[in-house]
């Protein structure tokens, strides 16, 4: 069956799988509401709400990982609250507990780069197109106050610039 679908269609379906699953749950909940009565309709409403939340989060994740093709330089690994990027010539690692700022930089060529700065001044720049870079979104969800709107603007932008997503409240670097 994999030969039946074009590669770009498979990539699209994989990216939006969570959002589509959430929509399917919403439809199931609506169907449940229409066939049930009494208190069972409340269960249908709960199913709709859960499905809607899953669909919204899936859509956000799909849009944030839009430039994560897996064909860029290096490999990203996430382990023990640590983001590690390894490539043939460069690499580095940064601890989530020591983060000071998180930015996305768009290069003049339109490439997206995750820019992490630790409180000790160490900096890690990770191409969003690196293999495994889509996992960064999962790790960043633990940061309170992360500006998802700025992240979505950055990932949909083709103009060069830097988008600030998060700054630690504990220690400020400037």
Q: Using CA of residue 141, residue 128, residue 65, residue 173, what is the dihedral sign?
A: positive
Label residue 142 by pLDDT band (50, 70, 90): confident
Q: Model-level pTM?
A: 0.71
Specify the pLDDT at position 172.
Answer: 47
Label residue 117 by pLDDT band (50, 70, 90): very high
Specify the pLDDT at position 173.
Answer: 45
Whether the per-residue pLDDT at 141 is higher than 60: the answer is yes
How far CA 68 is from CA of 21, 61, 121, in Å, comes to 21, 11, 26
Secondary-structure class of domain 75-167 per CATH:
mainly beta
Label residue 66 by pLDDT band (50, 70, 90): low
- How many other CB atoms sit within 10 Å of the CB of residue 38? 6
Mean pLDDT across the chain, nearest whole number? 86
Range in 76-80, 99-103, 169-173 with the lowest mean pLDDT: 169-173
DSSP letters for 48-103: HHHHHHHHHHHHHHHHHTTT--S-SSSEEEEETTEEEEE-SS-EEEEEGGGEEEEE
Specify the pLDDT at position 90.
Answer: 82
**Cα 65 from Cα 67, distance rounded (Å):** 6
């Amino acid at each position: 069956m994999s030969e039946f679908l074009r590669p770009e269609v498979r990539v699209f379906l994989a990216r939006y799988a969570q959002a589509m699953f959430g929509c399917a749950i919403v439809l199931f909940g609506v169907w449940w509401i229409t066939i049930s009565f009494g208190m069972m309709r409340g269960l249908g409403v709960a199913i709709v709400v859960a499905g809607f939340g899953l669909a919204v989060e899936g859509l956000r994740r799909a849009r944030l990982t839009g430039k994560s093709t897996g064909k860029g330089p290096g490999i990203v690994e996430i382990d023990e609250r640590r983001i590690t990027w390894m490539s043939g010539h460069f690499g580095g690692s940064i601890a989530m507990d020591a983060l000071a700022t998180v930015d996305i930089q768009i290069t003049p060529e339109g490439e997206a780069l995750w820019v992490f700065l630790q409180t000790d001044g160490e900096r890690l720049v990770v191409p969003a197109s690196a293999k495994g870079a889509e996992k960064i979104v999962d790790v960043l969800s633990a940061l309170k106050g992360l500006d998802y709107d700025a992240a979505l603007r950055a990932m949909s932008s083709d103009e060069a610039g830097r988008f600030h997503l998060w700054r630690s409240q504990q220690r400020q670097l400037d």
